[in-house]
């Protein structure tokens, strides 16, 4: 599976040197999400941390979540996704 996903990230950007598919730093994503939330008050509060829980609730495979979070063991991921800390979704969003 790593070969399939190699160089492809869910959240990426093109840096100032033109390098494509650089992973985003968590602080950057946090700030972007806050900025969007300020502009769109109707959106539910969400953080990058909460997205892992939402991904599991939406049926995303635990191994895929674990790999995206760079956990060496799915047991670690299981600890993080087994909470009720999820972003509210409406029907049809996933």
Q: What is the pTM assigned to this prediction?
A: 0.46
Going by pLDDT thresholds of 50, 70 and 90, the confidence category of residue 91 is very low
Write down the pLDDT at residue 47.
80
- If you search the block for the tokens 């087994």, which residue do you land on? 82
Backbone angles phi, psi at 22, to 5 degrees: -80, 130
Distance CA 38, CA 33 (A): 9
Mean of the per-residue pLDDT values of the chain: 73
């Amino acid at each position: 599976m790593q070969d399939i996903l190699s160089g492809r990230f869910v959240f990426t950007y093109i840096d100032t040197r033109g390098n494509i598919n650089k992973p985003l730093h968590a602080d950057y994503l946090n700030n972007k999400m806050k900025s969007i939330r300020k502009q769109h008050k109707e959106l539910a509060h969400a953080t990058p941390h909460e997205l892992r829980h939402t991904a599991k609730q939406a049926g995303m495979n635990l191994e895929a979540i674990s790999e995206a979070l760079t956990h060496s063991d799915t047991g670690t991921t299981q600890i993080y996704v087994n909470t009720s800390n999820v972003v509210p979704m409406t029907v049809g969003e996933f």
